[in-house]
Chain A
Amino acid sequence: MDARQKEKIAALALLLITLFVVTPVVLIFILVLVRGLPALTPEFLLAMPRDGMRAGGIWPAIVGTIYLTLGTALFSIPLGILAAIYLNEYAQRNWLTRVIELAIINLAGVPSIVYGLFGLGLFVTFLNMGASILAGSLTLAIMTLPVIITATREALGAVPRSFREVSFSLGASRWQTVRHVVLPNSIPGIITGAILGLSRAAGETAPILFTVAAFYLPRLPKSVYDQAMVLPYHIYVLSTQVPNVSVKIQYGTVLVLVGMVFIMNILASWLRARLRKRKTW
């Protein structure tokens, strides 16, 4: 067998393996679409659940998920960006920086149920927020921080060193350089990373289990101190805790959650593509 034949076989084998790897994703999408699509009526999306969640809609869970994602964004994006700016633009290479970096790496590796218990201990109990949108957002924010910090640092790092040098040489301070040169050139990358982090947070179940998620609450939350229904937990409840729920409703709910996360991811990819096109340096 000569090199050309081997090359053909290698290319084919790699293709097959790659197809095999993406099969689960494709199957999930097809299954959820086929079974869930018939459930998607305006009533299902916009009405309160009825009959112990066996009928009616999932509106409060959709709203709860949106609130929670926004709350997570509110806390995690500014904190994450500022921490990344410090680490990338200000921090000296010393033991403190290394400890912080190590902590962030480890933060990313903590199992999500541990975040849930941490949120329960700190926000719900100790800080007396109760199970609430506030407590849930904060818990999810902590979980999302390492993703946002890492993505922001990458985006900042992609700005050429020479831009910073010129800015300093023109008499700009470090902060002015960050504000006027580094940040404007890294914003699209930061946003992309932030959306990807948030889309993961939107689908998490364990961190919200004890900190915000309501089992059955057929009304919209009125303040950040209210509990809320949230899609991932609602799916868990529908599939394991409530007898005799129609398959249609279960799949419909899954489709809505997957759809929301999917839209966020598409948005992130679109932004990234735009960024690549614009970037000329």
Chain B
Amino acid sequence: MSIIETNKLNLWYGTFQALIDVNLAVAQNKITALIGPSGCGKSTLLRVFNRMNDLIEGVRLAGSVKVRGAEILGDGTDLIALRKKVGMVFQRPNPFPLSIYENVVYALRIHGIRDKQKLDAAAEKALSSVLLWDELKDNLGANALTLSLEQQQRLCIARLLAVTPEVVLMDEPCSTLDPLATMRIEELMIELKKRYSIVIVTHNMQQAARISDDCGYMLLGELVELGETKRIFTAPRDQRTEDYITGRFG
């Protein structure tokens, strides 16, 4: 079953068309990877799913995007509810300059939870799911910026999980990490897909091949091909996909 479905999705930045007739389906509890060269529109597409493009002036959208069957384009969408359901992990780890604890409970506080016990429980649960709890449980008051980059990125994922989203969008989440840290974050993603549906944008084709169940190849704003990762990497149907994954281009 698809948790996100786009139908003839088009997006313009001013007069520049960044997405062209994108039809994409994201399967539940799977990792869907979007690959393609820089500027192909994969990050733009990702940011449609939680309407982060709204922050950019001059963006225009046409078509349909449904999350769990509900249309999310249009002015009537409750963005707060949408973003609680569809969370995002960014390219650079970006914890707030607050304590580890305050980072994790930030969104809960925003959404009106005051009960200390609830906050504590949520913090422990979120930090445990990203395997940081044992490491940091005695040090929750420390400034989050003192952590290593990998820990920071894990913390950012924990901060997001505390909101209990259904979909986790990841925009090149490992691009600032070293190979070992990347590997550990990838293991975490595979663990997380049991409970969440993940869409990841990545520059790294090996990464897409390693972790994703489905894979979409984008080029110049078009979703050229979408399918099971194994199939995409072994038997691409489109010549352009083949050119890219065999390294003839990109």
A residues within 8 Å of B by Cβ?
Answer: 92-93, 160, 162-173, 176, 180-181, 185, 279-281
Contacts and interface: CB of A to CB of B under 8 A. Distances in A.
B94 A171 contact: no
Contact of A170 (B57, B87, B92): B87
B83 A180 contact: no
Nearest to B143: A280
B42 interface: no
A145 to B, nearest CB: 27
12 contacts: A162-B90, A163-B96, A165-B55, A168-B55, A169-B83, A169-B160, A170-B159, A171-B79, A180-B106, A180-B109, A185-B97, A279-B97
Given A92-B57, A280-B145, A281-B145, A166 B94 contact: yes
A211 B81 CA distance: 53
B88 interface: yes
Interface residues of B, number: 27
Nearest to B146: A280
Contact of A171 (B80, B143, B145): B80
Contact of B97 (A165, A176, A280): A280
Contacts of A176: 110
Nearest to A164: B55
Contact of B107 (A163, A170, A280): A170
A28 to B, nearest CB: 41
Contacts of A281: 97, 145
Nearest to A163: B96
Nearest to A174: B55
Question: Closest 8 interchain pairs by CB?
Answer: A170-B107, A171-B83, A169-B88, A162-B94, A171-B84, A171-B80, A172-B110, A280-B145
Contacts of A280: 97, 143, 145
Interface in B91-128: 92, 94, 96-97, 106-107, 109-111
Nearest to B78: A171
Contacts, number: 64
Interface in B148-185: 156, 159-160, 163
A180 B94 contact: no
A166 B109 CA distance: 15
Contacts of B81: 171
Given A163-B94, A166-B94, A180-B106, 18 more contacts: A160-B94, A162-B92, A164-B55, A165-B94, A168-B55, A169-B50, A169-B87, A169-B90, A169-B160, A170-B106, A171-B80, A171-B81, A172-B110, A173-B80, A176-B110, A180-B110, A185-B97, A281-B97
Given A162-B92, A165-B55, A281-B145, A170 B83 contact: yes
B52 interface: yes
A169 B111 contact: no
Contacts of B163: 170-171
Nearest to B81: A171
Nearest to A166: B94
A162 B96 CA distance: 9
Contacts of B94: 160, 162-163, 165-166
Contacts of B96: 163, 166, 181
A92 B57 CA distance: 8
Contacts of B145: 280-281
A169 B157 CA distance: 12
B88 to A, nearest CB: 4
Contacts of B50: 169
Contact of A165 (B87, B90, B107, B160): B90
Contacts of A166: 90, 94, 96, 156, 159
A176 B50 CA distance: 18
